[in-house]
Amino acid sequence: MSRPEPAPALAPAPRAEPRPALALRDVAFAWPGAGRGRGGFGLRCPDFSLAQGESVLLLGASGSGKSTLLSLICGIVAADAGVVAVAGTDLRGLSAGARDRFRAERIGVIFQQFNLLPYASVSDNILLPLRFAPERRARAGEGAAEVRRLCAALGLPADAPETPAGRLSVGQQQRVAVARALIGRPGLIVADEPTSALDAAAQDAFLGLLFGQAEDAGSSLLMVSHDPRLGERFDRVVRIEDIAAAERNP
Amino acid sequence: MILRLAIGSLFARALTVGMTVLAIALSVALFLGVEKLRTGARASFADTISGTDLIVGARSGSVQLLLYSVFRIGNATNNVSWESFQDIASRPEVDWAVPISLGDSHREFRVMGTTPEFFRRYEYRGGRSLEFAEGRGLDDLYDAVIGADVAAALGYEVGDPIVVSHGLASFTDHDDQPFRIAGITARTGTPVDRTVIVSLEAIEAIHVDWRGGGKTGAATPVEAIRAMELTPTAITAALVGVKSRLRIFTLQRWINDYPEEPLLAILPGVALQELWAIVGVAETALVGVSAMVVLTALLGMTAMIFSTLNERRREMAIWRAMGARPATILGLLVLEAMLMAAAGAVLGAALLYAGLAAGRPLVDAAFGIWLPIEPPNARELWTLAAVIGAAALASLLPALRAYRLSLADGMMVRT
């Protein structure tokens, strides 16, 4: 996917010195607490990166370490060794609180399903990450107008912003999740199987909207899926086994 | 926005949250109600007698004097001679002095001899005077005025005859000199309700034929008694009002140092406080119990939050993915608990006021306790704040668990 110009509202730093949106080098990580839950499950990732504006589909079956990799990228956990850099910032150098803030500022997250707080309005759901990210809030401009613009662009009904999120169909909820990931134009969108709850036709429409909006926002896109058929839209398709080794140490 | 989301989250679970809020509201209403009753009872107790500056009796303890002179509980160890009473009444500091004479009874109620001035001077509940529900005051020698409880318990009406018994719980009646009920006083919530009031002279009159605790010979005819000089030789106690409150202590000292006879003068307010200090243990227990009820309701809320944690893991993961720290999750749960407690506190206060408005006349009629309806005072506001604070503390347990869960789950919860 080629992209003519980064959006003018982007943070200025990346333009001066093109750094990868995401770079993992010599990463080693193991969940703490052997034997319980994910405890003892570990992951090594020697080298993986995502260029600015690039879209990558990461293919992997369950148990392949997808969730662990995403937790590392999103800064939920810190690597034991190596570098996990998002937009040039090594997350290992940040405290847990700073990583949470960094995630809010720089990463838009879309889950498989149940993305939204069902009791909150669509508008509140979309604006939620801005609550924890002042810079991203400033980039988003006037919140209500931005919510309306994104909803319109994603083909949601005009009265959607005021509707409780729980009243929308699954497909509509996933589009709201896209709007929430994209508000304030974060540099990286992380999507974890966002289409698995949709039927084939809806998947295609959803991906079209996601790509269009990510491109508009100038965001890189990292999508995880087990479904190789989705690959054709992406710049690159990577199998998780090729970049990361899962290890289970009892 | 967080506040709006917290409220939205609570409304989304309206049934369980509503039950929890209701439990808190009821417990808060109970606690505040007990407080109201307690202060009401205390005020009512302190209001048993007002407008009287000193109570004078034979020397004993101040609580004992108060008990028998005002509450008609127990007996005087000794009497006050009529001369001593005259001495006190003629002191320059004294504005008025009302003698009372106790010792006889009618059924389970005490009979009190006094002067008609008693009805003008006895005040209760901050300056309210006795009023007659029916009939009028003492006029004839054999007139009696009965309290509201006496009338209600014995079904007496104005004009009915009434016979005074000699002493307390005795089988000897002064049946040769029956009284006629002249009036019934309106309910006061004071011991007056349980008293039969006759004139001081009448007490003398029914004891004309009595010497040293026994009846002597044949009954003197009523006509002869009416012609007698019926000045008493002794009274039980006296209520005294002074001209200037500044002189109370001078007079009190003078009476306590009275050389002719050992006397005791007490300030009713002070003695009431002493008495309340004895009775007050029960109120502390009552407050303790109602506080436990509030704690139980908060415990219920904590259990409710615990039980919903698991089904809310997904929601917590969404918050985390959006950049919320685990501390934000903790704060969110504490905020929800405080909102529930605040709603409970406000609803509880509303319940209390509704209950007060409905129950006040009943409580007044049955117990003579007048519960004031007024805006919440500082103490009550502190109580409400304490309930919210305690809810925040109690919710820390599940909130800390959510904190740990959200640290472990991060944004990945397998659903």
- What pLDDT, on the 0 to 100 scale, is given for residue A12? 46
Tell which residue, B155, B411, B107, B71, has the closest CA to residue A70: B411
B-chain CB neighbours of A97 within 8 Å are 325, 327
Whether residue B152 lies within 8 A of chain A, CB to CB, comes out as no
Contact A74 B325 (CB under 8 A): no
Cα dihedral A76→A80→A85→A90 (10° resolution): 90
Residue A191 burial class via C-beta count within 10 angstroms: exposed 0-12, middle 13-18, buried 19 and up: buried
CA distance A3 to A14: 15
Tens digit of each residue's pLDDT (9 = 90 or more) over B54-101: 999 999 999 999 989 998 888 888 999 999 999 999 999 999 999 999
Contact B321 A67 (CB under 8 A): no
Tens digit of each residue's pLDDT (9 = 90 or more) over B178-220: 999 999 999 888 889 999 999 999 998 888 887 766 677 677 8
Tell which residue, A126, A165, A161, A153, has the closest CA to residue A209: A153
Cα dihedral A92→A94→A95→A100 (10° resolution): -100
The answer to whether A49 and A20 have CB atoms below 8 angstroms apart is yes
Which residue stretches of chain B have pLDDT < 70? 212-214, 217, 368, 412-415
A212: distance to nearest CA of chain B, Å? Answer: 22
Q: How far apart are the first and last CA of chain B?
A: 27
Residue B294, both tokens: 């509030």
The values of phi and psi at residue B141, to 5°, are -60, -40
Whether residue A116 lies within 8 A of chain B, CB to CB, comes out as yes
- What pLDDT, on the 0 to 100 scale, is given for residue A67? 82
The answer to whether A172 and A164 have CB atoms below 8 angstroms apart is no
Q: Which residues contact A48 (CB under 8 A, 6 or more apart)?
A: A22, A23, A24, A238, A243, A244
- What pLDDT, on the 0 to 100 scale, is given for residue B96? 94
Q: Which residues contact A216 (CB under 8 A, 6 or more apart)?
A: A7, A153, A182
A117: distance to nearest CA of chain B, Å? Answer: 6
A-chain CB neighbours of B316 within 8 Å are none
Contact B410 A120 (CB under 8 A): no
CA distance B234 to A42: 102
Question: Across the strands, what pairs with B113?
Answer: B101, B198
Q: Which residues contact A25 (CB under 8 A, 6 or more apart)?
A: A46, A47, A82, A83, A85
B25: distance to nearest CA of chain A, Å? Answer: 25
B-chain CB neighbours of A119 within 8 Å are 5, 8-9, 11-12
Tell which residue, B312, B332, B396, has the closest CA to residue B6: B332
Specify the residue for token string 């479904």.
Answer: A227
Q: Where are the domains of chain A?
A: 20-248
Query: CA-nearest residue of chain B to A131?
Result: B1
CA distance B188 to B369: 9
Instruction: Closest CB to A70: pick one of B9, B12, B412.
Output: B412
Q: Which residues contact A119 (CB under 8 A, 6 or more apart)?
A: A164, A165, A166, B5, B8, B9, B11, B12
- What pLDDT, on the 0 to 100 scale, is given for residue A249? 65
Contact A109 B322 (CB under 8 A): yes
For the domain A20-248, what is the CATH superfamily, name and number? Answer: P-loop containing nucleotide triphosphate hydrolases (3.40.50.300)
Whether residue A106 lies within 8 A of chain B, CB to CB, comes out as no
A129: distance to nearest CA of chain B, Å? Answer: 5
Whether residue A191 lies within 8 A of chain B, CB to CB, comes out as no
Contact A180 B322 (CB under 8 A): yes
A164: distance to nearest CA of chain B, Å? Answer: 10
Tell which residue, A132, A155, A142, has the closest CA to residue A210: A155
Whether residue B43 lies within 8 A of chain A, CB to CB, comes out as no
A-chain CB neighbours of B408 within 8 Å are 37
B-chain CB neighbours of A109 within 8 Å are 321-322, 411
Question: Across the strands, what pairs with B214?
Answer: B211
CA distance B10 to B382: 25
Contact A71 B415 (CB under 8 A): no
Residue B168, both tokens: 């307390």
Query: CA-nearest residue of chain A to B318?
Result: A115
Instruction: Closest CB to B411: pick one of A74, A133, A164.
Output: A74
The values of phi and psi at residue A50, to 5°, are -130, 120
Whether residue B415 lies within 8 A of chain A, CB to CB, comes out as yes
The answer to whether A174 and A198 have CB atoms below 8 angstroms apart is yes
What is the per-residue DSSP string for A142-179?
SHHHHHHHHHHHTT--TTGGGSBGGGS-HHHHHHHHHH
Specify the residue for token string 């006040």.
Answer: B360
Question: How far apart, in Å, are the Cα atoms of B228 and each of B89, B102, B201, B294?
Answer: 24, 21, 10, 67
A-chain CB neighbours of B322 within 8 Å are 104, 109, 128-129, 131-132, 180
Tell which residue, A124, A188, A122, A118, has the closest CA to residue A151: A122
CA distance B314 to A122: 17
Contact B318 A67 (CB under 8 A): no
Question: How far apart, in Å, are the Cα atoms of B44 and each of A219, B71, B73, B152, B277?
Answer: 75, 13, 18, 21, 15
Beta strands in B216-329 (DSSP E): 234-235, 237-242, 263-266
Per-residue pLDDT of chain A (250 residues; tens, 9 = 90+): 444 444 444 444 444 456 788 999 999 988 876 555 666 788 888 899 999 989 999 998 877 788 888 889 998 888 898 999 998 889 988 998 899 999 999 999 998 877 899 999 999 999 999 999 999 999 888 989 999 999 998 889 888 899 999 899 988 999 999 999 999 999 999 998 888 888 888 888 889 989 998 998 889 999 998 888 888 889 999 998 888 888 876 5
A-chain CB neighbours of B12 within 8 Å are 118-119, 166
Specify the residue for token string 């501390």.
Answer: B327
A-chain CB neighbours of B4 within 8 Å are 120, 124
Contact A132 B324 (CB under 8 A): yes
B-chain CB neighbours of A71 within 8 Å are 410-412
A208: distance to nearest CA of chain B, Å? Answer: 24
**Orientation of helix B378-409 relative to helix B281-309, angle to 10°:** 30
Contact B412 A71 (CB under 8 A): yes
B-chain CB neighbours of A131 within 8 Å are 1-2, 322-323
Q: Is the ipTM of this complex over 0.90?
A: no
Contact B410 A71 (CB under 8 A): yes
Whether residue B7 lies within 8 A of chain A, CB to CB, comes out as no
Query: CA-nearest residue of chain B to A63?
Result: B414
